[in-house]
Structure 1
Amino acid sequence: MSALSSAALVPETKTPLILALPKGRILTECGPLLAAAGIVPAADCLDEDSRRLRFPTDDPMLDVVRVRPFDVATFVAFGAAQIGICGADVLMEFDYPEIYAPLDLRIGGCRVSIAEPVASAAQDDPARWSQVRVATKYPNIARRHFAARGVNADIVHLNGAMELAPGLGLCRLIVDLVQTGSTLKANGLQEVEVIANVTSRLIINRTALKTQPEAIGAWIQRFRMALESLSINASTCT
């Protein structure tokens, strides 16, 4: 019997599904989407000051957990959560085969970009780069991008404060997530190339989709209908 056939025989669980949400900016943007999908979490779920990490919802078969944006994909890939909302940048960085991303939720818009000091950017030509040192929290994205262009990149992995690195001589370039560019500007940096535009995606654990197809499929459909509803409302208001 194939693995898929065996999975089909596993009954739908009576344990609540777990939806992993990212802390920070995207959490706020999730509010209207969750409401449109009919998800009403505990009142403090969207409150960044709350110390709780797991929250019940009005549906006894769905709980919400709130984790760091980079950790959402890991929770879902390893089955700790069956559903999640995750930036495409995180999916690109980790490239977990265990994750299925059926929907672009059209929230959390930003971009993964290359930046360098304004002074050197004025005289630099990215097409002539052959070897560079790059500070980033996206080592895999950066490595793949520069390798595809034939550039030998020495990657310095940082988890934050990327904007300080060029001025302190740690690197020549940074690869970071950019929304408005104001943080770059405040630290004397200039965006010189966009690697990828990013939005948040609905992500699903593939094993959960096989073993609980009705429950997971129903939630995918609810998010799809929520997107359609929000799109219709937005077009009506313009």
Structure 2
Amino acid sequence: MKHFILGTFLYLCCAFSSHGEEFDAKRHKMMEEVLADIAANDGFTLSPGVLAAMGKVPRHRFVPTWLTTFAYFNRPLPIGHGQTISQPVIVALMTSLIKVKAGDRVLEIGTGSGYQAAVLAEVAESVYSIEIIEPLEKEAAERLKSLGYGNVKVRLSDGYYGWPEAAPFDAIMVTAASSHVPPPLIKQLKPGGRMVIPLGAQFMTQYLMLVEKHMDGSITSRQIAPVAFVPLTGGH
């Protein structure tokens, strides 16, 4: 199975042209490290769609210029304002967990630099992304537009309350840690939909949770893995 996944990834990397040939080798190496990390955790897999998306999105365009050299390291990096761009393996895992597919509408809480939104946009039909820090929201919106991600809408708002007028969503991804699952996000998730959210306090143990809303409206959740995220901020 590992050989099949790696082969699929290499094929998809060749099938989709990348943004800047000089970064191809670094991006391929990053994905090999991501695949190795995923393979080390039994039960986790990455879909071909997620592999293709991450093999295509130019991560070096989503980090500060002075960090370009480190853009394809499998680690989080600072993007200013006390925020980070997530570690690639976490981006891959979260995107796979919500099972995004063509035709889906996805809500992202915490746009940051826009990298995760770009990965989602490669797979989903449309992405609605909320950022609470104004300079990040403005920069991410401009960056995503310049890179051709017209199916991403970015809003300056408190993500705790979601994007009600665009709901319901097939999937929701929260990229900041909360003490609980925000009820407005549960309400905006479609029956049959999935949400991933890190729960726990900053500097304390946090766990990535998968929340599923069943067709009858009932909610179940399960713990996936320990993580470390910046806190979800706002007036809630």
TM range (shorter): under 0.3
TM-score (structure 2 length as normaliser): 0.27
| Larger RCO (CA under 8 A, 6+ residues apart) | 1
Structure with greater strand percent: 1
Structure number with larger C-alpha Rg: 1
